[in-house]
Amino acid sequence: MSLKIDSLLIHGGIDGDETTGAVNVPVYQTSTYKQDGLGKDRGWEYSRTGNPTRAALEKLIADLEQGEYGLAFASGLAAINTILSLFKRGDKLLVSDNIYGGTFRILDNVFKNFDITYEIVDTSDEAAIEAAIDDSVKAVYIETPANPLLTVTDIEAVSKIAHRHDKLVIVDNTFLTPYLQRPLTLGADIVIHSGTKYLGGHSDTISGLVAVKRKDIADRLYYLQNAIGGVLAPWDSFLMIRGIKTLGVRMDRHVANAEKIARWLVGSGYVSKVYYPGLKTDPGYEVQKKQADGAGAMISFVLDPKYDYKKFYESLKLITLAESLGGVESLVCHPATMTHAAIPREIRQEVGIVDELIRFSVGIEDADDLISDLEQAIKASKKA
């Protein structure tokens, strides 16, 4: 029976436990498995290589992304590390011009040392991608909407260009999740998630998830997952499966709150800029609407110079200043010194990650309470 996403969130992957009838997949807290004789295992050998709780989550993310294969890692960056390990000395990746700072850091300070290089391009500009592709380029790596400026890239258009040149397309789908956007159905080859965010949803687990359609890519990734070893633990796999069950209801509320708050910010007179692809005035609005079922719940904004952004963070009462995003609780962060500090200041300034930029992960609290908190903190931060 083919299920819609709301049912898949609850019954996708491996639904419960065949042996006992338990409605939840058990936590197989084991590192190894009894073998009945030499070469006679029961399908499981060692938990870095495979674990039934992790396997249930891996099948679940494959189902949700409409892929064929899924992989679960100890963090989003462990997933990215494994994906980047597909490449060899001399290979180059084209990457979106505003991506998560940690992704930039691993490219710039780890893989570059092995001569796997990157070039930053505005992936929302198809001509720029076409112009940047040469023989050394092996993949285009995009985030859409990108972190933290919410720039939208047309996944289908980029995939067509990349595939015409026989290059892979890797999409970080952390901000929207498969509930709102399914990159594999738009032509992407590999989808990666920081599961730490909306998929887990409760700011209690660090994880990374990957989904792919092609068997040759999946085989290589499974090999690398086992060879590198950054796998997700059984208990954390269980927490992820549990979090994912409520993804749909959480995302509906996240998005409704974000739309209301983005509109309020625009009309408030307190801000000089609002980045949110759900606003009709946003340059990414049309592409966003075409390729996703919602604009997500990340908003970035710049306060009017009358207000002191440092004081604003300190004046919030309900909304918490913290790294991360995608949990039920609202969080704000300062990209320039927190999530994107790994990106050199000149590049940050060039792409628009200015010191005054505030990133807001809109939670599922009452939207009016969130607006009240923003308003009182902005008023309290008025310069003398």
Positions marked active-site: 48, 100, 172, 197
Dist CA 283 CA 286 (whole Å): 8
Tokens of 197: 């965010």
Q: Is 108 in the site for ligand PLP (CB under 6 A)?
A: no
Q: Is 97 in the site for ligand PLP (CB under 6 A)?
A: no
- Taking CB under 6 A as the criterion, which residues in 140-169 touch ligand PLP? 143, 147
Nearer to ligand PLP, 51 or 194 (CB): 194
Tell me the pairing of strands 69-73 and 331-333: unpaired
Cβ–Cβ < 8 Å for 248, 9: yes
Tokens of 21: 């009838």
Q: How far is the CB of 101 from ligand PLP (least distance, A)?
A: 8
Nearer to ligand PLP, 75 or 225 (CB): 75
Helix, strand, or coil here: 381?
coil
Which listed residue (16, 26, 50, 102) binds ligand PLP by CB under 6 A? Answer: 102
Nearer to ligand PLP, 191 or 319 (CB): 191
Q: Is 279 in the site for ligand PLP (CB under 6 A)?
A: no
Q: Is 338 in the site for ligand PLP (CB under 6 A)?
A: no
Could you tell me if residue 363 is left (phi over 0), alpha (psi between -120 and 50 degrees) or otherwise beta? beta
Q: How far is the CB of 225 from ligand PLP (least distance, A)?
A: 15
Q: Taking contact as CB under 6 A, which single stretch among the options 2-10, 99-107, 283-291, 293-301 is the one that binds ligand PLP?
A: 99-107
Q: Is 236 in the site for ligand PLP (CB under 6 A)?
A: no
Cβ–Cβ < 8 Å for 195, 70: no
- Taking CB under 6 A as the criterion, which residues in 52-81 touch ligand PLP? 75-77
Q: Give me the amino acid identity at 363.
A: G
Q: Is 196 in the site for ligand PLP (CB under 6 A)?
A: yes
Q: What distances in angstroms separate CA 239 from CA 44, 279, 374, one per listed residue? A: 21, 34, 31
Nearer to ligand PLP, 92 or 359 (CB): 359
Nearer to ligand PLP, 162 or 170 (CB): 170
Q: How many CB atoms lie within 10 A of CB 40?
A: 8
Dist CA 314 CA 357 (whole Å): 15
Q: How far is the CB of 92 from ligand PLP (least distance, A)?
A: 20
Nearer to ligand PLP, 180 or 206 (CB): 206
Residue keyed to tokens 């949990």:
327
Quickly list DSSP for 55-71: HHHHHHHHHHTT-SEEE
Residue nearest to ligand PLP (CB): 76
Q: How far is the CB of 369 from ligand PLP (least distance, A)?
A: 25
Which listed residue (65, 91, 97, 172) binds ligand PLP by CB under 6 A? Answer: 172
Q: Is 231 in the site for ligand PLP (CB under 6 A)?
A: no
Which listed residue (53, 82, 85, 174) binds ligand PLP by CB under 6 A? Answer: 174
Q: Give me the amino acid identity at 258.
A: A
What sign does the dihedral 286-288-289-295 (CA atoms) show?
Answer: negative
Q: Is 107 in the site for ligand PLP (CB under 6 A)?
A: no
Cβ–Cβ < 8 Å for 10, 60: no
Q: Is 333 in the site for ligand PLP (CB under 6 A)?
A: no
What sign does the dihedral 338-344-346-351 (CA atoms) show?
Answer: negative
Which listed residue (194, 205, 291, 330) binds ligand PLP by CB under 6 A? Answer: 194
Helix, strand, or coil here: 118?
strand
Q: How many CB atoms lie within 10 A of CB 113?
A: 8
* Residues that bind ligand PLP in the complex, under the rule CB under 6 A: 75-77, 100, 102-103, 143, 147, 172, 174, 194, 196, 206, 208
